[in-house]
Structure 1
Amino acid sequence: MNCNVERLSRVRMIADYQFGKGTGKELFPEGSTFQLSRTKRVRQVLHSGKRIATARAKDGFFTLSIEGASVIHKLLSGKKLRVVVSDDAAPFVEAGKTAFAKHVIDIDPELRAGEEVLITDKNDRLLATGQLLLSPAEIRDLDSGTAVDVRAGIASK
């Protein structure tokens, strides 16, 4: 079997596990290419020359670019993988700034700290992608602190 076919199959399987069944094929379509580490592990997945996702060295899960987050946002409806921020915070988050707990107005209750999330406004417009630092219960209970470490905002790409 071709090395690229094996890699594509593997990254799709990881994406299905991380983001939900069926997301891998949409996130990493045919023709996706890979940047490898020195040890020949997948580091970045690209499509049409744009980075879609990067594999984290510590666990192999993906961090998303805005392009990758857009694909996941279109695929998953409702609250899934979402952190909703207030209108006051939206321009800052969109510019790639930190999302604080006091600005979170809604959150997917199934999320766990450390997961990759989509940050949206109350109209479900994608603002940014990042890593959730607190659990949904902690975010609801706290008035201060960083809720999401924003990796990229739609205005900062």
Structure 2
Amino acid sequence: MVEMASKLTEALKKIRCIADYQFGRGVGSVLFPEDVEIVTSKRTGRIRHVYLKGELLATLRPLDGLFSLTVEGAKRIVEGGLAKRMLVVVMDEAAPFVRQGRNVFAKHVLDAAEEILPQEEVIVVNREGEVLAVGRAVLTGREMKLFKRGVAVQVRRGAGEPREGRSRT
């Protein structure tokens, strides 16, 4: 039992360290509290998914070892006040479409963190700071604000789409 508990704390430390590296210092403990459920691959034993009370927060990508956030995970980071380096703010006119999972175009970006680089995880919010979607940056944060054409964020999931969670069947 002690061995299993130490494996859990080691896994928790690992995912928190990855989140701190990827999203910024302090994000790991906000995103992943003590009572998260860490799901590993049956075949490889590697960490795959992180759940909190049945809600999927993040998936660890095997290709690069970094996280893909879910809308629930993004909300935890935004509510914790630690999302500044990964935020993209969009116009109110674009918000309903982004919430449905549509891509964000550069002409609809009001503000974006200067630190954003292409292929990084970003959180798309409206002016009020409400999470609309999560996805990957196509442009740098600076380019998102300057460009008037093209896709700025490739949205993976919008806040208005069906939720990700564990099926209890």
TM-score by length of 2: 0.86
What's the counterpart of residue 8 of structure 1?
Answer: 12
Deviations 1:26-58 (A, max 9, x none): 211112112222211111111111111001122
- Counterpart AA for 2:94: A
Counterpart of 1:18?
Answer: 22
> For 1:61, which of 62, 66, 83 is the aligned residue?
66
Partner residue of 1:101 out of 92, 97, 106? 106
Q: C-alpha distance in 2, partners of 1:8/1:22? A: 14
Amino acid at match of 1:25: S
CA 33–59 in structure 1, closer or farther in 2 if over 3 Å, else same: same
Identity %: 42
Q: Do residues 110 (structure 1) and 119 (structure 2) align?
A: no
Rounded Cα–Cα distance in structure 2 between residues aligned with 1:77 and 1:60: 21
Equivalent residue for 2:51?
46
**Structure-2 change in CA distance of 1:83 and 1:46 (3 Å):** same
**Structure 2 unaligned spans of 5+:** 164-169
| CA RMSD across the alignment | 1.6
**What are the ranges of 5 or more consecutive residues in structure 1 without an aligned counterpart?**
none
1:140 aligns with 2:145: yes
Q: 2:160 — aligned with what?
A: 155
From 9, 27, 32, give the equivalent of 1:28. 32
Residue 76 of structure 1: CA displacement?
Answer: 2.5
- Of 84, 88, 103, 2:89 maps to 84
Q: Which amino acid aligns with 1:12?
A: R
Pair 149,79 (structure 1): closer, same or farther in 2 beyond 3 Å: same
| Superposition misfits of 4+ residues, deviation over 4 angstroms | none
Q: How many residues align?
A: 157
Question: Which digits, 9 at most, give the CA deviation of each residue in 1:44-85, with x for residues without a partner?
Answer: 111111111001122111111111000111123684311011
